[in-house]
Structure 1
Amino acid sequence: MAESKVTGTARGRLPAELTSFVGRRRELTATRRLLSSSRLLTLTGSGGVGKTRLALRMATEVRRTFADGVWFVELAALHDAGLLGLTLANALELSQVSANPTADLAEYLEDKHLLLVLDNCEQVAEACAVTVSKLLAAAPQLRILATSRHVLGVEGEQVLSVPPLSTPPEESPAADADQYESLVLFADRVRAVLPEFVIDETNRAQVIEVCRRLDGVPLALELAAVWMRTLSLSQIIDRLGDRFRLLTSGRPAGPPRQQALDAAVGWSYDLCSPAERMLWDRLSVFSGGFDLEGAEEVCSGDGIARDDVLGLVAGLLNKSIITRRTAGAHATAWYEMLTTISQYGGLRLADRAREYQLRHRDHYRALAARWATDCFSPRQSDWYLRMRREHDNVRAALDFCLAEPGEGSSALEIAAPIWNFWFAGFLREGHRYLARALDAAPEQTPVRALGLWAGSYLAMFLGEAEQLGRLLTECEQLAERYDDHRLRARIAEVSGHAAIYQGDLAGAIDRLEPALAGYRAVEDALGEFDVLILLSAATFFLGDPRVAEFSQAAYDLAEAHGAESSKAYALWSVGIVQWRDHDQIAAATRSLRDAIRLWQPLNDRTGIGFCVQALSWCGGSAAPDENAARLMGASRAVWRSSGAHVDETTPYSQFDDRTESRIRSTIGDAAFDSAFARGAAYSFEQAVALALGEEAEPARTAKPGMAGRLTPREYEIAGLIGEGLSNREIAARLVISQRTAETHVEHILSKLGFTSRAQVGRWLADHPDR
């Protein structure tokens, strides 16, 4: 029931545990043993039994065993099995590398010593089984830890059934109860709402009764603990008794642990007000979370006034039915609902599910339309961040449309207007959705025309030349049919952009200049800006002096509209011109790094790829050494992660070739090849850090003899620092005060002679057997 915050490094990504981990000693031992002897271990069990927490704790404990890290992939919100490969590639920071991401993953993992944690595989079980088999066959050092409500059925799979927490048997004396895991967990979670709570002689028997009634199922216990804020133990027991009688009346009883979870979730449902229950049911159509606006748009009406939604959300939050994700001070609040709880609401929604799925579709169709008209504005960065957060809901809306007969046009109305969002690390996914939507909506309509144009742009970046030509041809026909001036400008823009990649620079300018005039005629500022950037690129490669004019015009237009992130493209254009004038390499470096920093929050890997590439040219001109060669390799790593097709024959490649020749002639072929390979092997984050001159400082050696003076507790806390936990998270994990955690951290830094937590993490990695 705790909020989850993702932390990550180049060597892995695991959600931090924000509540204490209780018990599971036997299961941890068994998991470690099975994971060491097999390459695929699946933790099975019913919902709420604690599979994910066990997998995360095991992954945390063994993370230093794997040289290439431990990577966690959440699959609960994934319903399209066709996106599994892309999801895994994105989680491993490969993004959409090609049309066959599973093959790319297999190639990437073949020499990696890595643990992949796949959570909630039951959502796409068959696809998981096929993909896991391929990856394990290709990567001999890969191990996979999966959680699923049922086995995957893959050859070599080991299975560990996760039981509920231990609970006192009926014949056990109450005095011996404190040794049981379920009681420890219940007491710990109650203290979150009643800090003074302890199990003593006055309440021990009642706590045992609660834990027995709930069969030791962790989620059920956590739900019950929340109600200690308003109910007594005896009241909880009474209500649980009523719920169990209801569950077992008139139908065969299910497994005890499932009955316990049903009882706890259903009992929490019963304790909500009628309006809160209605909202709970309706919120089940969201995927991955929701904000207040979404809840108001989708869930209000028919018994819930729009003005009442905020209060009802607060009520569900107070009852721990939903959680609020931690966000920045200025970010819109974001709420999440556990899969088990969402599924319960979905079952209750029953016959009305389609009604609210249609409202969900309408909300995201409207959101896509607003994006298209407002993303070139002072709210540009906010829009990108919002759409990244809404990504699972966009997927869910598209999946619904593509599964419903006659909804293909609706899918196009969602996928096409956000064409530029797909460049934020989702090129291949956007291309897939647009292709499916176009197949589902063959009618010659204006919305199809927009889909054809958007699809052609993504096809160009993915190197799909035949498809690009076919889509543009049909798009041109529709532009003539509807006499659509904006669409004509868009077609000319894509044609001109494609001509740049093909090296036809004069032809590109011949297409782009009419596109610029067309966008200006219809007052499309974003289109105008994009074409100005393309004209600056074409004239740059031609040596045309108008490049400075186009670059400045693009910068001024973005500035006038407050589109800070778009200014990054203008800074890229300014930077390459400054680089060409060799006396301005320092200025070029500043411009290009400023552009990257603008793009970083949006994860625009295509734009960042252009900048890292240009920075490698700067490095080759200023100091053609091994660092410059490494930066060239890092440029390749960024392009690889973007998913964009890299053609060795584009005008950009001529500068790559010149830079490479300059560096090779200075340091020699062997040194160049070695340094380039190191950079090319970087993760996206490592490559960007190198380009920004912000590489992590080298690991320092601890003061001689001082490491041995760390106390056992300090060693434990040092390990948590290495996992990326904050002082607050360390305090929660160890059940100590935050101030005590801070004091321990200060002592560790002092004893080791370090000045930063990052140095502690690197010291731990270099001394795994400390």
Structure 2
Amino acid sequence: MTAVTTTTFKGQRTNRLPAEVTSFIGRRHEVAEVKRLLAASRTVTLTGVGGVGKTRLALRVAQKLRRAFRDGVWLAELATLHQPGLLAETVVEALQIRGHTAPPIDVLTGHLHDKHALLILDNCEHLVHECAVLAETLLRAAPDLRILATSRQALGIPSEQAMPVPPLHLPDGHTPRPSLATLAQTDAVRLFTERARAVLPTFALTEDNREVIARIVRRLDGLPLGIELAAVRLRALSAQQLLDRLDDRFRLLNAGSRAELPRHQTLRALIDWSYALCSDEERLLWERASAFAGGLDLEAAETICSGRGIDRHDIVHLVIGLVDKSVLIREDHPCGLRYRMLDTLSAYGRERLAASGQQDWLRERHAGYYRDLAARARADLFGPRQVHWLTRLHLEHANLRTALEQSYTGPDGARAGLTMATDLLYHWTTSYYPAEGRRWLQQGLAACDVPDDVRACALWAGGWLAIIQADEPAATTMLHDSRRAGERLHDQHVLGYVALFSGMIAMKEGRTAEAITLYEQALARHQAFGDPGGTALSLIRLTLAYSHAGDTPSAVAAGERCLALCESHHESWHRAYAMMALGIQAWRQGDLCRATDLQHKALTVTRSLGDYLGIGITVEVLAWIAATQRRHQRAARLLGILQTVWASAGAPLSGYGHLAGHHDACEQNTRQALGEDAYSAAVRRGARMPLDEALAYILQEEPLTGRGKGRQRLDRLTRRESEIAHLVARGLTNKEIAACLVISQRTAEGHIEHILTKLGFSSRSQIAAWAGEQARTQDRPAAGR
């Protein structure tokens, strides 16, 4: 190593970090994680899309660590550096080294070789190769040096730990409405509120504007830069006016702080910078990936985005490149790996796609792929891959919706859209989309009046959805038209489903004997046609009808036949409903233990699929069982939970109207046993419970228990949070926790952040140690036993 003589200004502070001029919001978990990584690795690179707050996070970490580095914490700002050859010289200047004549790289290695310091290389993405070479050279020469880099792409050196910086935590748009206080503590809302107050001192988050503010920060993906630019607009716009104009966000959010770099002053300039860093093929894939809604997987990218300048075999490498550049975000799901693009980047890509003239071509390829996906799912639905398909369709819902819109207006005409909407029938019924599914079917039926098999199937499918929505008159009309078409076509498949759903209407109207006859006709036709799904549905309904008629042997026989059929095909969803039906029969017979066990098993399946209808009917039966056992507090709370479930499903006892009398009797008996005030209070407690917590309560999933201060802390956790604390203690990653609990990885991360907040911790290791101690405390006998 060449000895180099250098000097610094006398009396100069060794921590050259800019002061924070605005408040730092949230990021406690990220700060703790970066500190942990720096303790274990010599290089940590914060990656993420532009505007996500990488620089602010790096500076906050550096401020907290400044006393840990005796030779200082130094910031080298590289955003304005466009000549790679000046990189080492720029770092020399950042370190305040003066009086040198040797080459800059020799100056740096000579100056740092014995220093215990932290060097921040900020905004490396346009100089990734040069920064990687510099970092590797400095780390080899200076054993006590640590480097913290920020970049939209990792440096790719051996000593590096890359940490993706996520957007700020957002309000969940799918869970019941949180309290105003809870919403106000969400990081994205906090940032918007504080920045809004800076320009409008009277601004406050209120019950009147809470939904608008939540929608604004969600539309901006939780990007700090976008939120700050939007908040400034409250000088001239109301919150609602701001939200209404976010479709044109690049024009609206066009002026930030004049003190910022030009590319940080507008949202468009920020994204232009990311776009310029991509290769021509990566830009093409960015544009084409923007046509997806809600994410995509590799198979979809290869099928839809290839051609016209991109070879199919190159897609995987281009996806890797866009993930590296923080344009695509990798997400792990139980049914496979997916990629998501922030809506801000997607909107930018759609503008570019429209300007390229390839929008129509890509839209039709997208629609064709998802029509084929729906058909494949429908053909493979009764079997071992059923949960996989239903989970995948749920994840693809936004893409399915986009494909349906295109199919109804595309060159294949309404028939293609009507076929797809019918193929998605189980998607509509096992999720909370029956109303939407019915609208898609009605749109196709109105535009496609040819009396063929496509229309005949769409009619009985629409009839089923109408029954779920308790619209029996509309269902009767559609089933009548479907029957006429089926008879004209001599289509036993169609006639089997018409008989099945006609039996459901008869059952609701109290014509039990007629319903049994219709169900038996449906069963015979489905068996003759070789349709196991129709056969299973017919057997489930026969179980319920025989039970209602008091024919116990026939009810049990039909239910057991259905279970055997499902088990032979390794099928789950119909099996869950068969267990539910057999559980009702067991309850009627007074076998409450078996009835409860069957409902719990059924609920486990429907819960994993997010099937609100299935969840609702099993919770109904469990409420009746609790009332029969005179557990009236539990019964009342279950009735409160049902209010939330049936509201999500679309109608109380959807498709099971003949059981309404049991619900009424349960409610009346429970109210009488508890008294009006206690009954109402218990119902309210159930109705206020988040669904995850409610289902854990129903399945008797009790939280960890402990004593003393640990117990008090644990009592502040929800049951789901306690469950996740257990899994953290077992060493599971966020991905593994998500797969175990059948939730998204982002949801798991949100729960862990809440746990850290409630317990006052800053790392997963603290959660693990604490949860382990609680478990050990629980296992130890109490004093005096």
TM, length-normalised to structure 1: 0.64
For 1:35, what is the secondary structure of its paired residue? coil
Is residue 2:645 matched to residue 1:638? yes
Say yes or no: does 1:591 pair with 2:598. yes
Supply the distance in 1 between the matched residues of 2:326 and 2:595 (Cα, whole angstroms).
52
CA distance in 2, matches of 1:454, 1:55: 47
Identify unmatched segments of 5+ residues in structure 2.
1-48, 50-164, 232-236, 715-724, 729-746, 777-785
Pick closer, same or farther for the CA change 1:360–1:15 going to 2, 3 Å: farther
The amino acid of 1:741's aligned partner reads S
SS at match of 1:334: strand
Question: What CA distance in whole angstroms lies between the structure 1 residues aligned with 2:338 and 2:632?
Answer: 47
Evaluate the alpha carbon distance shift between residue 442 and residue 405 of structure 1 in structure 2; reply closer, same or farther with a 3 A threshold: farther
CA 1:263/1:611 → structure 2, altered by over 3 Å: closer, same or farther? closer
Q: Please give the alpha-carbon distance, in whole angstroms, between the structure 2 residues aligned to 1:511 and 1:398.
A: 33
Which fold has the larger relative contact order, with Cα–Cα distance below 8 Å and residues 6 or more apart in sequence? 1
Q: For residues 461-500 of structure 1, what are the structure 2 equivalents within 5 Å?
A: 461-500=468-507
Q: Classify 1:571/1:32 alpha carbon distance in 2 versus 1 (closer, same or farther; 3 Å).
A: farther
CA distance, structure 2, for counterparts of residue 625 and residue 652 of structure 1: 20
Is 1:613 the counterpart of 2:620? The answer is yes
Q: Against the structure 1 CA distance between its residues 147 and 390, is the aligned structure 2 distance closer, same or farther, given a 3 Å change threshold?
A: farther
**Cα distance in 2 for residues equivalent to 1:749 and 1:145:** 44
- Cα distance change of structure 1 residues 509 and 298 upon mapping to structure 2, 3 Å threshold: same
Match of 1:524 among 525, 528, 531: 531
Residues 624-647 of structure 1 show CA distances to partners (whole Å, capped at 9, x for unaligned) of 422222223323432222113548
Q: Give the secondary structure class of the aligned counterpart of 1:356.
A: helix
- Sort the Cα spacing of 1:278 and 1:704 in 2 relative to 1 into closer, same or farther, 3 A: closer
Relative to structure 1, the CA distance from residue 636 to residue 701 in structure 2 (aligned partners, 3 Å threshold; closer, same or farther) is farther
Alpha-carbon offset, residue 690 of structure 1: 3.4
Which residue pairs with 2:208 in the alignment? 39
Give the SS at the match of 1:34.
Answer: coil
Q: Which runs of 5+ in 1 are unaligned?
A: 59-116, 119-128, 133-143, 153-160, 169-181, 183-210, 218-256, 708-717, 757-770
1:561 aligned partner: 569
- Matches of 2:588 and 2:400, distance apart in 1: 42
For the 8 Å contact 2:425–2:461, the answer to whether it is kept is yes
Residue 221 of structure 2 contacts residue 343 of structure 2 at CA under 8 Å; is this kept in 1? no
Alignment of 1:432 with 2:439, yes or no, is yes
CA–CA separation in structure 2 for the residues paired with 1:731 and 1:672: 32
Counterpart pick for 2:294 among 272, 279, 288? 288
Whether the aligned pair in 2 keeps the contact of 1:637 and 1:687 (CA below 8 Å) is: no
Contact 1:624 1:666 in 2 (8 A): no
- How far residue 396 of structure 1 moved from its aligned partner, in angstroms, is 0.7
Candidates 684, 694, 700, aligned match of 1:693 = 700
Indicate which of 373, 396, 407 corresponds to 2:413. Answer: 407
Q: CA deviation at 1:33?
A: 4.2
Distance, in Å, in 2 between the alignment partners of 1:743 and 1:649 is 48
Q: Call closer, same or farther: CA 1:305–1:397 in 2, change over 3 Å.
A: same
Whether the 8 Å CA contact 2:653–2:659 is kept in 1: the answer is no
**Equivalent-residue separation in structure 2 for 1:530 and 1:376 (angstroms):** 11
Partners in 2 of 1:487 and 1:527 — Cα distance? 10
Report the number of matched residues.
560
Cα 1:696/1:412, change in 2 over 3 Å:
farther
Return the alpha-carbon distance in structure 2 between the equivalents of residues 11 and 399 of structure 1: 30
Structure 2 residue identity aligned to 1:653: A
Letter in structure 1 aligned against 2:381: C
Q: Is the 8 A contact 2:253 2:267 kept in 1?
A: no
1:392 aligns with 2:398: yes
Task: Report the alpha carbon displacement of residue 618 of structure 1 after superposing the two structures with TM.
Answer: 0.8
Percent identical among aligned pairs is 28
**Cα pair distance change 1:699/1:439, threshold 3 Å:** farther
Kindly state the Cα deviation for residue 400 of structure 1 after the two structures are TM-superposed. Answer: 2.0
Q: 1:672 aligns with which of 675, 679, 682?
A: 679
C-alpha distance in 1 between matches for 2:544 and 2:582: 10
In the alignment, what sits opposite 2:383? 377
Partner of 2:573, secondary structure, is coil
Deviations 1:263-294 (CA, angstroms, capped at 9, x unpaired) = 314413xx31x332332222222111101111
Is the Cα–Cα contact under 8 Å of residues 727 and 741 in structure 1 kept in the other structure?
no
The answer for the alignment partner of 1:85 in structure 2 is: none
Deviation at 1:3, TM superposition (A): 4.9
Aligned counterparts of 2:538 and 2:550: Cα–Cα separation in 1: 18
Letter in 2 for 1:422: W
Partner residue in 1 for 2:740: none
Mapping of 1:201-212 within 5 angstroms? Answer: 211=261
* Further displaced range: 345-354 or 307-316: 345-354
Change (3 A) 1:654 1:726: closer
* Residue identity in the other structure for 2:276: W
Give the whole-Å Cα distance in 1 for the aligned partners of 2:242 and 2:286. 26
CA-to-aligned-CA distance 1:151-208 (integer Å, 9 cap, x gap): 89xxxxxxxx87866464xxxxxxxxxxxxx5xxxxxxxxxxxxxxxxxxxxxxxxxx
Structure 2 residue aligned with 1:302: 308
Aligned amino acid, residue 303 of structure 2: E
CA shift for structure 1 position 549:
0.3
Shift of 1:337: 1.5
1:741 corresponding residue in structure 2: 763
Q: 1:678 and 1:698, CA in 2 relative to 1: closer, same or farther beyond 3 A?
A: farther
8 Å CA contact 1:368–1:413 kept in 2: the answer is: no
Letter in 1 for 2:618: C
**1:267 counterpart residue number:** 276
The separation in 1 between residues aligned to 2:388 and 2:523, in whole angstroms, is 27
Q: Is 1:589–1:618's contact at 8 Å kept on the other side of the alignment?
A: yes
In the alignment, residue 374 of structure 1 is paired with which amino acid?
D
Letter in 2 for 1:35: A
How far the C-alpha of 1:610 sits from its partner, in A, is 0.9
Query: What's the CA shift string for 1:563-595, capped at 9, x where partnerless?
Result: 12322112112211221221x211211110111
1:339-378 correspondence runs (5 A): 339-350=343-354, 351-378=357-384
Query: Which of 333, 337, 341 lines up with 1:337 in the alignment?
Result: 341
* Pairwise CA distance, 1:374: 0.7
Kept in 1, the 8 Å contact 2:288–2:305? The answer is yes
CA contact (8 A) 1:413 1:447 kept: yes
Post-superposition Cα deviations, 1:378-414, rounded to whole Å, max 9, x if no partner, equal 1111111101100000111112233457632121121
Within 1, Cα distance between the matches of 2:225 and 2:273? Answer: 23
Q: Following TM superposition, by how much is the alpha carbon of 1:54 offset from its aligned partner in structure 2, in angstroms? A: 5.2
Native 8 Å contact 1:6 1:16 kept in 2: no
- 1:148 pairs, out of 232, 240, 243, with 243
After TM superposition, give the deviation of residue 705 of structure 1 in Å.
12
In structure 2, distance between residues paired with 1:19 and 1:629: 37
* 8 A contact 1:453–1:471 mirrored in 2: yes
Q: Does 1:318 align with 2:413?
A: no
Letter in 2 for 1:457: W
Deviation at 1:26, TM superposition (A): 4.4
CA contact (8 A) 1:3 1:326 kept: no
Mapped to 2, the partners of 1:549 and 1:705 lie a distance apart of 50
Superposition deviation, residue 669 in structure 1:
4.6
